[in-house]
Amino acid sequence: MSREPAAHENLTTLSKHLASRGLAPGLDEVLLAIALGGKAIGHRVRRARIDDVVGVAGGENVFGEVQQKLDVLSDEILLACLKDTRATAVYASEEQDGPLVLRTASEGGRYCVLADPLDGSSNIDVAVSVGTIFSVLPNDRPDAETAAAVLQPGRRQVAAGYIVYGSSVVLVLATEAGVDMYTLDPVLGEFVLVEEGIRIPDEKKIYSINEAYVNDFDDGLRAYLEYAHGSGYGARYIGSMVADVHRTLLKGGVFIYPATTKAPRGKLRLMYEGNPMGYVVERAGGAASAGTTPLLEAVPTDVHERTPVVLGSKAEVEQVTRRLGA
């Protein structure tokens, strides 16, 4: 009778799995640094009330948005982990005024990391899932222009993903090889591979949008909602992009944060919310749009620019975009 392998024998850790993926030089050390940052941020998120890091930090970010203490703390943790990583050329984030050049190409800086260190942070004090979103671009610039290497379209990403701090800490990582999911084993302190080669369902009648703004939606989007309301769709909206996108990736459906009359470019930021999530969904066989143009083709002019986002199952994204463009 064959012996069931002991649980630990099926233990593929993140570092072991990355080593098997044959990634470009230095990329694995950048991804492991981000994962380390995620472990540390997850620990602080879990202890938020205890450590009294819930609430506002007193400052504002470049958007004039009040920064939560954990926003600032998460940004500091991520930067500290990446500063130590020789392959990191530039760090840019929602909480930083501009890109920070850590190393030029001739100093070994191969990759730019852009991050939303804590997404959904307004939900921290009510214990709703939040997360860290990251995007990795190649440093393709001469030393003197290193900071500008962050301004590349999402299509140029070499890796992207997110870490959800929810009922468990889950890392979803997309690379050329596909989309893989790891769960943090709190006892081992290791991210363990739980699913390899995730594919988003081609269709699913779930839409995710904040309908409170319906009076500010354009006619095409209202036409989509009318179609959805009459076609047996379910609505799910958590209000943390990372949680809404994670559900969309695993169950299918469409996530929409649209342009509105009050926010003509939408709310979400292209470089560290739209692009990374768009890359993950497209690598899983889904689609990502800026409304009427492919999201990953957008050519950025500012690291903090906003974009409308429609992403998810191909068929469901198409149901939205064909009406937006009508």
Q: What are the residues binding ligand AHG (CB under 6 A)?
A: 94, 116, 119-122, 210, 239-241, 257, 267
Residue number with CB closer to ligand AHG (138 or 239): 239
Residue number with CB closer to ligand AHG (135 or 240): 240
**Strands of the chain, DSSP E:** 56-60, 66-68, 88-93, 100-101, 111-119, 130-138, 159-165, 169-175, 178-185, 190-195, 206-208, 234-235, 254-257, 287-289, 309-312
- Compute the least distance from the CB of residue 142 to Mn ion, in Å: 31
Which of 28, 75, 116, 244 lies at the binding interface for Mn ion (CB under 5 A)?
116
- Compute the least distance from the CB of residue 117 to ligand AHG, in Å: 8
- Compute the least distance from the CB of residue 130 to ligand AHG, in Å: 7
Which of 119, 180, 190, 244 lies at the binding interface for Mn ion (CB under 5 A)?
119
- Compute the least distance from the CB of residue 277 to ligand AHG, in Å: 10
Q: Are 144 and 109 in contact (CB under 8 A)?
A: no
H/E element, 251:
helix 241-251
Q: Which residue has the tokens 């940004």?
A: 75
Q: 282 is in the binding site of which of Mn ion, ligand AHG, none (Cβ under 5 to 8 A by kind)?
A: none
Residue number with CB closer to ligand AHG (99 or 266): 266
Residue number with CB closer to ligand AHG (141 or 267): 267
Q: 29 is in the binding site of which of ligand AHG, Mn ion, none (Cβ under 5 to 8 A by kind)?
A: none
88-93 and 66-68 strand pairing: unpaired
Q: What angle do CA 132, 135, 140 make, to 5 degrees?
A: 155
Q: 269 is in the binding site of which of ligand AHG, Mn ion, none (Cβ under 5 to 8 A by kind)?
A: none
Question: Which SS3 state, helix, strand or coil, does residue 250 take?
Answer: helix
Rounded to the nearest 10 degrees, the angle between the axes of helix 314-324 and helix 219-229 is 140
- Compute the least distance from the CB of residue 159 to ligand AHG, in Å: 20
Structure token digits, residue 183: 């769960």
Q: Give bridge partners of residue 289 from the DSSP assignment.
A: 294, 310
Q: 180 is in the binding site of which of ligand AHG, Mn ion, none (Cβ under 5 to 8 A by kind)?
A: none
Chain positions contacting Mn ion, by CB under 5 A: 94, 116, 118-119
